[in-house]
Amino acid sequence: MTPCKRIQPLIRKEQVVTLLLMLAQMNAVLKDDFEKKMTVVGLLKQYAEQRDVDTFARGLSVILANAKHQDLLQHIR
């Protein structure tokens, strides 16, 4: 039998913390707007798959257009 190699985690602990902070900020800013929350999550997933910054930025600018959303955009950066 060959010894098992230690498998690297898919994401680092720092990335998990950053993601949790961003999700908390998203909940604070978007509150009960479930549709916008899911649209932002969808854009994040699309970006993770395609790495298309232009499409991601355009989508966020449409969804998060008012001044109160600017804090959330800072967390996503």
Ranges of each domain in the chain: 33-77
Q: How far is CA 62 from CA 14, 55, 56, 59, in A?
A: 29, 11, 10, 5
Structure token pair of residue 26 = 């998203």
| CA nearest to 39, candidates 58, 18, 16, 24 | 58
Using CA atoms of 43, 49, 53, 59 in order, give the dihedral in degrees to the nearest 10.
-20
Taking the alpha carbons of 50, 53, 56, 59 in that order, is the dihedral positive or negative? negative
3-47 residue pLDDT tens:
666 666 677 888 888 889 888 999 999 999 999 999 999 999 999
pTM of the shown model: 0.74
